[in-house]
Amino acid sequence: MKVLIDPHALENLLGPMTKQAPFVAQKAINDTLFQARKDQLQKMKTSIDKGANSWTRRSLRYYKASKNFLKGTLYFDATRPYMKTIIDGGTVKPENSEFLVAPVKGRMKLNKFGNIRRGRVRALANKPNYFVGTPGGSNDLKKRGLYKIKGRGKNKKLERMTYQNETQRPARTTYKGPEFAQEFIKKRLERNIIRAAKRAIATAR
């Protein structure tokens, strides 16, 4: 989401103090972006399934405007590519492995957002009583996942912990972030321009 202001459009508001237009535009843009970010963080709590964790919240950032570049941008950092499919829908693909990972219901401890804790599968797979693959070296990829080895000898059995057999899955839009931002900026930008103009006039020398 980009916020731009044409400083020439502020001339009527500032009257003879048109030289303050860049300052007014810069402050109005940056105040609006800061407020829009706070608004987005609140909406993420209710609009994203089970809310957004701290890793996702920290990814929402903005580029400030300067007096010489009167444009600001509110964006999600590129290190959270999953936000694109949450916002736009599309296809989910694994980030750091060949297959997507999904928990077998009731077998893996999940965090409050319903996800497996980051690095948990890798940590378990490195233990001697766990492995990632297919039982008995089967070629049936539907059986691929993280398994726990329980018991020994004749009592030995495998307990499946995760599904790891899909290379992609479809995703629908679940968070209308750009729409929320547009609505918020439309309501706040004009108000912030007026506030910035009043401050510029009051502090002018």
Residue 119 confidence (pLDDT) above 90: no
pLDDT class of 118 with cuts at 50, 70, 90: confident
Alpha-carbon distance values, 141 to 132, 148, 159 (Å): 12, 17, 16
- Please tell me the pTM assigned to this model: 0.71
What tens digit of pLDDT does each residue of 58-86 get?
A: 999 999 999 888 899 999 999 988 899 89
Are the C-beta atoms of 146 and 161 separated by less than 8 Å?
yes
pLDDT tens digit sequence for 128-165 = 999 999 998 888 989 999 999 998 888 889 999 999 99
pLDDT bucket at 200, cuts 50 / 70 / 90: confident
pLDDT for 171: 85
DSSP string, 113-134: TS-BPTTHHHHHHTSTTEEEE-
Q: Is the pLDDT of residue 10 over 70?
A: no
Cα–Cα distances (Å) from 188 to 9, 26, 198, in that order, read: 17, 14, 16
Q: How many CB atoms lie within 10 A of CB 200?
A: 20
pLDDT at 204 over 70: no
